[in-house]
Amino acid sequence: MKNILQLLTFLILFAGISLTISGQDGKASKEDRKEQREWEKQKRKEEKEAQKEQMKKITKLMVDHHKFVLEADYLSDKYGTRVPVDHTINFIMIDSLHGTIQFGSAWAAGYNGVGGATFNGNITKYKVSAFGKKKDSYNIQIIFMSSIGTYDISLMVGGDGNADASVRGNWSGQLNYHGRLVPLGISRVYKGHARY
């Protein structure tokens, strides 16, 4: 009988110790999971910051070397009325001393084969001024000469590559492009037939 009581006491103590240890393991696991989530959150934040810094460097290189494409997600008129567009056929391309301005629509026919117009020309002026707290945003003034006229292009580019451009030409209106700058070698725009 004494042996049975000792055995029962041992089993009860062992069960109590096991429950205490497993309870502590549960708490440790919960704390470990919390630390893991905090670590992953910090890691994502650091990766996002690194990507942001990398994009600033790429944007600066594109602007400094005059080689980029503003792929527009929206076009707007001088009154600010925005229309969503296909960025592969609505763009401003700057390639050193040459450029292309194109607008188009997948739902309409046009002179260029993409429902709009395509103008090739030469860049006769390219003036950049940096602004912002870290001087990582840019105001670019371009004079674009084509066979049908001269166009003034004003570009505002953020360090993250987001850009807005206003194109003014021989007419009283203006056409605005809203999108992102993409390196010339990476851009996948479709250039239509330039009539002029």
At residue 179, the pLDDT reads: 96
CATH 2.40.128.410, domain 66-183, yes or no: yes
Q: Strands 91-95, 117-131: parallel, antiparallel or unpaired by DSSP?
A: unpaired
pTM of the model: 0.76
Q: Give the chain's mean pLDDT.
A: 85
112-129 pLDDT per residue, tens: 778 788 999 999 999 999
Mind listing the pLDDT tens digit for each residue in 146-180? Answer: 988 899 999 999 989 999 999 998 777 799 999 99
Tokens coding 179: 């999108």
Residue 8 has pLDDT above 70, yes or no: no
* pLDDT of 13 over the 90 cut: no
> Rounded mean pLDDT of 46-59?
89
Q: Specify the DSSP element, H or E, that contains 3.
A: helix 2-65
Say which residue, 122 or 25, is predicted with more confidence: 122
